[in-house]
Structure 1
Amino acid sequence: MRLRLRQFRPRTGPHQHRIVQPWATLRHTSLRAPDPIGLLLGDHDGLNRLAGLFSFAAYSRHTIVHVPLRDGVPPDEGRGEPVDLVLAHHTLGLRPSQWPELRQKLRHGTPLTVRTDEARTARDAARWRERWERADFRDELRHATHAGTFFLFGSRDVFAETATYFAHAAGWGPRQKGVVKGYSALMAELPALVQPPGGGHPLDVLICFKAYPPYAHFKRPGH
């Protein structure tokens, strides 16, 4: 997949950071923070580009991927706080408390075009699934919500696995029953979210497909 991005190189003290954003807003895609259930609602374009962004994040250990989802069209369903999305490798050491300062510095970006390798993403996702049921498995998505942003921290393989979830939702969502009438379709959920200690209702983020209006213009594939 070809991704058009905007790249920033802000500094905090002696450290320089590399941050990328989609060049164009994901207009019909939104995210509500899990409390305990979150909702990521998107059309084909948004879900497809998120698949590419997760794939890009998987192989960019020193890059922060920022997806400003609050800039899109407000969703007409779901509850909870609308949030942006940030992806970063857990080895990068990004703390959510650092983000407001970094975000203020995202002013003068430069164009960047990258291509993702879907075959490599699929191989790494398959390797993650092979390890999933081991007793010592710890390759999960750590997360936090801070300053209007939902952070996901992970490894190459778990980001690759998540990319395949979004690709599935983008490809098969338009084929689901009722979407031509404006209904959303539950397609997946974020895999392997780390759960808080003490039990209680598990945290989850549902991934749903929803066409954008006017629905009379939306045609299911093959029609």
Structure 2
Amino acid sequence: MRLRLREFRPRTGPHERRVVQPRQPLRHTSLRRPAPVGTLMGDHDGLSRLAGLFSFAAHSPHTIVHVPLRDGVPPDEGRGPLVDLVLAHGSLGLRASQWPGLRRRLRRGDGVPLTVRTDEARTARDAAGLLARQRHTDRLDELRHTVHASTFFLFGSRDVFAEAAMSLARAAGWGPRQKRVSEGQAALVSGLWGLRQPPGGGHPVEVLVCFKAYPPYAHFRRP
């Protein structure tokens, strides 16, 4: 997939960060804060581009991927506050508390246009490797997560981001085939699996991935 991005190089003290954003907003895609269940809802374009962004994040350990999902069209269903999304490798050392200062430096006119290509075959191999390891060991690779400053942060490694990319790609592909989506109904298709769970039990933290076509629905055709 070819991704059109905008690249920023903000500085915080002596350190420079590399941050990328989609050049065009994902207009019909939204994320509701998991408390403990959140919903990531999007059309085919939005879910496909998110899959590409997760794939890019998987193989870009020195880059922060920022997806400002609150800039899109507000969804007409679901509950809970809308949040943006940030993806970063755990090895990068980004703290959620640092994000507001970085975000203030992401002025649109300062960003440099950037076009990258993702390697879907490599992403699929990395995701398959993760699943194979999990079948033979008790040690799980997880997505650490937190919410701060109206942003949902996911911290992980190459393989867990790759597995999330494949989950989103499946949702983009199978979502339009679900019943009644041509009538404007949302369809639960997948999820962001592998989220680290808080100690003490209780309801697990989940992010459900739903497909939802955008109006006018008379123009939508199931494959």
TM-score, normalised by the number of residues in structure 2: 0.98
CA distance in 2, matches of 1:138, 1:130: 11
Deviations 1:21-50 (A, max 9, x none): 000000000000100100000000000000
Q: 1:149 aligns with which of 147, 151, 160?
A: 151
- 1:9-158 paired onto structure 2 within 5 Å: 9-107=9-107, 108-158=110-160
Q: Which residue of 1 aligns with 2:182?
A: 180
CA distance in 2, matches of 1:38, 1:133: 27
CA distance in 2, matches of 1:68, 1:134: 37
Q: 1:197 aligns with which of 199, 204, 207?
A: 199
- Letter matched to residue 36 of structure 1: P
CA distance in 2, matches of 1:145, 1:158: 19
CA distance in 1, matches of 2:218, 2:133: 44
Deviation at 1:134, TM superposition (A): 3.9
Deviations 1:141-162 (A, max 9, x none): 0000000000000000010000
CA distance in 2, matches of 1:184, 1:136: 35
Q: 1:165 aligns with which of 161, 164, 167?
A: 167
Determine what percentage of the aligned residue pairs are the same residue: 74
Deviations 1:35-76 (A, max 9, x none): 010000000000000000000000000000000000000001
Deviation at 1:136, TM superposition (A): 3.2
Paired residue secondary structure (2:3): strand
Deviation at 1:81, TM superposition (A): 1.2
Paired residue secondary structure (1:102): helix
TM-score, normalised by the number of residues in structure 1: 0.98
- Coordinate RMSD, CA, aligned: 0.7
- Letter matched to residue 17 of structure 2: H
CA distance in 1, matches of 2:69, 2:161: 19
Paired residue secondary structure (2:135): coil
CA distance in 2, matches of 1:9, 1:71: 22
Q: Which residue of 2 aligns with 1:220?
A: 222
CA distance in 1, matches of 2:165, 2:212: 18
Deviations 1:122-152 (A, max 9, x none): 0000001011234432310000000000000
CA distance in 1, matches of 2:172, 2:139: 28
Paired residue secondary structure (1:132): helix
CA distance in 2, matches of 1:169, 1:132: 22
Q: 5+ unaligned residues in a row in structure 1: which ranges?
A: none
Deviations 1:91-149 (A, max 9, x none): 00100000000000001100000000000000000001011234432310000000000
- Letter matched to residue 96 of structure 1: A
CA distance in 2, matches of 1:105, 1:136: 42
CA distance in 1, matches of 2:147, 2:140: 21
Runs of 4+ in structure 1 displaced over 4 angstroms?
Answer: none
